[in-house]
Amino acid sequence: MWCLLIGIISLANCEVLAEAVLNEYYSVIAIVAVMNKHYNVVIIGAGPAGATCALALRKSGLKVALVDKSKFPRNKTCGDAIPGPSLKFLKEAIEESSEEFKDFELKQRINTSIMYMANGASIEVNWKSIAYNSTRFSFDNFLLNLVKKHTSTTVHEGIRIKDISRGNQTIQFKPRNTNYSISCDMLVGSDGANSIVSKALNPDTPDKSTKGVAIRAYYENVNAPSDANEFYLLKGFQGYFWIFPMHDNLYNVGIGTLKDDLVKGFDLKKYFHEVIDSHPVIGEKFKNAEIKSKVVGFTLPSGGKKMKISGERFILTGDAAHLVDPLQGHGIDKAIKSGILAAQQIERCFNQDNFSSTFIANYDAAIHASIGKELVRNYRLMRIVRSLPWLLSVVHPIIKNHVDLLMRMFYIRKKPAYHEPQ
């Protein structure tokens, strides 16, 4: 009798012990699951390229994460121009974007661009595609909200990453100041001019890009058109000064040049203020203007030279892929298109279970076919203007009589107007 009772008690204790062990086991599994997050695709950088890539993957059935070091909305130093093709490309990624952009109020429609030459003559171009200006603070937040609304993408904001490395058929990294790591089958670097993805996974590819440097500030009450982007070529300066109207009487004002053209010790910020104070045309426009931000600088990684922008299990997009137009200095349209092309290549990789660098190089070819040719052409034009700065003054009669032919390479709605120096 006593032996039977002792046996029953022992069995009960074993069941309790077994249950405790199982609970501990499942707790460990749960902790490991939290500490190691795996996705099919991770996109680093939630700007136009990264957000568009996430939008273009929304019907792929893949588990996608979008990671950005900032919490949105956030400031992003830029010229804030949204070229006409941008919205057309965005519609390719998500049809609903057209209607939702109509309701997006923090934008300014741009119908015209005016280039003022150093001698006072000007060329006025009326664009075929509808273009806008919008602060990156507002526009990038609009794009990220599209991702949150229309996709199942897991969005990680305010996460800085470190230690990108290759694992067993994965790429992995650790977010800073967290207790977990993230791994993925494919990684997309949409993290800008100083891409950490490129540095970690594409370190042996020489940087052939032509670096532009620029500074910008926001002003109010500038005496300039509200529907035209103005560019000014300046005597003795290889670059240009710009005035871009934003919404609500705000203007993006800046100056840019090639890094190689900056003489050592040249103070670009000081020169920026000198132009505003003393230029005979620009100065008049700023008589009643009020600066509303700090003057901040940024880098423009221009395209035009073939570079390796992908590899085994990774793709670079936007500024990380050096897709800024070397002549005009904008890159949002190219970034959006590269996000779409990246998504298309990613789907092919999963459909064919092929993540090799050779197969993914089809993305590089697609970029060159759809974007690269324009960048190469504009790079050559930029080199001509840079090496022969006097050329524009000499060819005024040609520009005057054949401006439509010369400018046909751009997105023009009607014949540009040429104006003689005053």
Read off the pLDDT of each residue in 306-328 and give the average, rounded to a whole number. Answer: 91
Q: Which residue has the higher pLDDT, 233 or 134?
A: 134
- Residue 7 and residue 70 in one domain: no
φ/ψ of 65, rounded to 5, equals -125, 140
CATH number at residue 153: 3.50.50.60
- Residue 14 and residue 103 in one domain: no
Query: Largest Cα–Cα distance in the chain?
Result: 118
**pLDDT tier at 33, thresholds 50, 70, 90:** very low
**Pairing state of beta strands 36-44 and 181-189?**
parallel
- How far apart, in whole angstroms, are the C-alpha atoms of residue 363 and residue 379? 21
- Residue 9 and residue 123 in one domain: no
Indicate whether 394 pLDDT > 50.
yes
pLDDT at 265: 86
Read off the pLDDT of each residue in 34-63 and give the average, rounded to a whole number. Answer: 94
pLDDT at 212: 85
Whole-number mean pLDDT of the chain?
85
- Residue 311 and residue 389 in one domain: yes
3 state DSSP class of 164: strand
- How far apart, in whole angstroms, are the C-alpha atoms of residue 257 and residue 310? 28
Indicate whether 20 pLDDT > 70.
no
- Residue 11 and residue 64 in one domain: no
Question: Among 99-108, 200-209, 347-356, 395-404, which stretch is predicted with the lowest mean pLDDT?
Answer: 395-404
- Residue 137 and residue 225 in one domain: yes
Distance between start and end Cα atoms, the chain: 118
- Residue 15 and residue 89 in one domain: no
Indicate whether 408 pLDDT > 60.
no
- Strand locations in 134-279 (E): 154-157, 161-166, 171-175, 181-189, 210-220, 228-234, 237-245, 250-258
- Residue 191 and residue 263 in one domain: yes
DSSP H or E segment with residue 373: helix 373-387
The amino acid at 234: L
pLDDT tens digit string along 357-387?
A: 999 999 999 999 988 777 777 767 766 666 6
- Residue 370 and residue 234 in one domain: yes
DSSP H or E segment with residue 223: none
Domain with 91, as residue range(s), is 38-419
- Residue 27 and residue 91 in one domain: no
CB 174 within 8 A of CB 161: yes
DSSP H or E segment with residue 123: strand 122-133
- Residue 25 and residue 145 in one domain: no
- How far apart, in whole angstroms, are the C-alpha atoms of residue 58 and residue 54? 6
- How far apart, in whole angstroms, are the C-alpha atoms of residue 223 and residue 401? 30
Indicate whether 31 pLDDT > 80.
no
- Residue 25 and residue 134 in one domain: no
pTM comes to 0.85
**pLDDT tier at 81, thresholds 50, 70, 90:** very high
pLDDT tens digit string along 128-169?
A: 778 999 999 999 999 999 999 999 999 999 999 988 999 889
Quote the number of domains for the chain.
2
Tokens 């519609």: give the residue: 91
